[in-house]
A and B are shown apart, each in its own frame.
Chain A
Amino acid sequence: MKAVDCRVFEDQLDALARGELREDGARLLRLHAAGCPECAALLAVKEELRPPSLEELEAAVPPEILATVWPGVKKGLDRDGTGSATVGSPASRPRFRLLVPLLAAASLLLLFSTGLLVRELERSRSRETALALELEHRDGGGTTPGGGRSILGAGDPLDLLGAEGEITVAELRALLDRLPAGTTVLTARQAQLLVGALRLRVPGVWREARASLGEGSIRAEELLELLDRIDLPEEQALPAARIRDLLS
């Protein structure tokens, strides 16, 4: 009996949600829903999703948000060189569809993370130098201050910037891997700046970044996870001049 009632209920569900049934018919169906959790849930879904008309929604579009549509589209097209239809062949576009946003994201990510990492490493090196000087003072020799040995592992990670002044994604990963678990690499403010910059420049990525990074400061392992998520080319490099700008 219940099965028949449920079938009738679902048959009439659209009409019930739209208020198209007569009062007594609607009352019977609602009575059934009151005693049947499955049909009550169906009705809740249908009533919640009953949309306002498209005209109502169009009237409710916030003008200040609507006004940002074209500037955003223009920026997106300028960024990937699709500003006019004559640029690039249709066949070639999809292959590179994500390349420019990803490279933009990569640059931003590298700028922020490398800047802070390098600062952290410089602090570490200063501490190491101070320790070496103290040891030298006590023992009359030993470790050479400023020598190429880092507390983080073999070789000085600052050397990864290289003579050409670039650091690749693979090198950044290596740097992050060497940091102790839980090391903060971006402050909350820097993380906000990063996510804000992603939002402006790479609309498709910033929400993911926000969901992944949260509101607080960013630890090395979280930044590594974001690098994995964005799936950057390992050889992607960042010019050292920009890093030095950050440090100055």
Chain B
Amino acid sequence: MDEAELRGMAMAYREGREEGLEQLVNTLSRTLMAMAFRYTADWEWARDLTQETWIRVARNIESYDPERSFLSWLHGIHRNGCIDHVRRPWIRRELALGEDATPAAGEDRRDDPLEALERKELRRSIMKAAGELSEAQRAVFLRVDVEDGDQRAVARELGMREGTLRVTLHHARKRVAAALRRAEEGAS
């Protein structure tokens, strides 16, 4: 579906027709859930974050500028929601407590359940550590390493020089890796 159609749905909702929003939700939620899953590794969490994003969209539809890309606007809102999710202290606590999560898409192919469990624990430790980074470090780390974003594009998006981004990313990775090592040492 192209931008013009999406914009048309958004404008229909803005004019008071609910079906505009319903069409957007039904068209784009699969992608939003896939994006959120990268942060949560849990489909129910991904669904909750996606719902929160749509509710934010509905509440702020008046501020959408139809001259700009609807998808960019939507993804910006969604990404902020995902980053907030990692930052919430009670999320970190729950991750640390080890709530069962749906296996990641790639994990279904692994035969060894012990290995899958270890990887799940590893991912939880990483996300917990990411939640404790500084704001700039977290933004860079999540966009580059979690979303697999291109460093140059991320630097442009964040209004950062590439050199600054590399240094910030270096420190973020070091802190996450150190937290991971501490977690492993604590577990052994």
By a CB distance below 8 angstroms, the chain B residues around A89 are 62
Most buried by B among A45, A56, A72: A45
A44 to B119: give the CA distance in the assembly, Å: 10
By secondary structure, the A interface counts as helix
By a CB distance below 8 angstroms, the chain A residues around B22 are 70, 74
Query: Which one of B47, B55, B93, B119 lies within 8 Å of A76 (CB-CB)?
Result: B55
B residues near A, CB below 8 A?
A: 13-18, 21-22, 25-26, 29-31, 33-35, 37-38, 43-44, 46-48, 50-52, 54-55, 58-63, 90-91, 93-94, 97, 102, 104-106, 119, 122-123, 126, 145-148, 170, 173-174, 176-178, 180-181
- A14-69: which have CB < 8 Å to B? 37-38, 41-42, 44-46, 48-52, 54, 56-58, 60-62, 65-66, 68-69
Does chain B have a CB within 8 A of A208? yes
Known: A10-B173, A41-B181, A82-B59. A66 touches B25 (CB 8 A): no
Distance of A61 from chain B, by nearest CB (Å) = 5
* CB nearest to B38 among chain A residues: A51
A211 to B177: give the CA distance in the assembly, Å: 27
Taking A42-B177, A48-B122, A74-B22 as given, write out 12 further A-B residue pairs in contact, using a Cβ cutoff of 8 Å, ordered by the A residue number: A10-B170, A45-B180, A48-B126, A60-B34, A61-B43, A62-B102, A84-B17, A85-B14, A85-B15, A90-B59, A207-B91, A208-B90
Q: List 27 A-B contacts (CB under 8 A).
A: A42-B173, A42-B174, A45-B173, A46-B145, A48-B119, A49-B146, A49-B148, A51-B147, A52-B106, A54-B31, A56-B106, A57-B38, A58-B31, A60-B37, A61-B43, A65-B33, A66-B29, A66-B33, A70-B22, A72-B51, A82-B55, A90-B59, A90-B62, A203-B52, A211-B93, A211-B94, A211-B97
- A49–B126 contact, CB under 8 A? yes
- B35–A54 contact, CB under 8 A? yes
Does chain B have a CB within 8 A of A146? no
Q: Number of A residues whose C-beta is below 8 Å from B?
A: 46
